[in-house]
Structure 1
Amino acid sequence: MASEQAHLARVPAPMTRAQFVQRSKERALALLTVGKIREAVASMMMDMRKYPDCEAPQEVNVIGILAVTAGDISLARAYIDGF
């Protein structure tokens, strides 16, 4: 019984869509700040697929892919901030 209660105490409270998107942006922008463009864009793409009603159309993800291909940090930031 005690271990079951301990397990339940570790379950995070559900997040709103806005909270989830903000947390995802923060993680992606932290990666971008240290120059990890590919990882930042991939992090945002993967996170947006995890939460209901957050998945972006393929056309939007193309912007992120183009940013990675060109090594364009400002375009990657615009992609991430666009969510």
Structure 2
Amino acid sequence: MARKVVLITGASSGVGLALCKRLLEEDNGLHLCLACRNMSKADAVRTALLASYPTAEVTTVQVDVSNLPSVFQASKELKQRTSC
């Protein structure tokens, strides 16, 4: 059975990061996708989440939600990765 895919924008800090942790506490079988502008921060958060939830699937995608071409590119990339 395929994992549920959950996309969190702004996942590198604040409410987005707190939501990531909460979701993984509830169901660490999720495929959590961290959508962030700063990939360095996203990669650091991914590493930290996997250290705490090693059975989770956590990926990253670069996106700036204020830039429509960036949103379309991220959507295309995620569709290819997840076969949605």
TM-score, length of structure 2 as denominator length: 0.31
User: Which of the two has greater helix per residue?
Assistant: 1
Larger radius of gyration: 1
User: Which of the two has greater strand per residue?
Assistant: 2
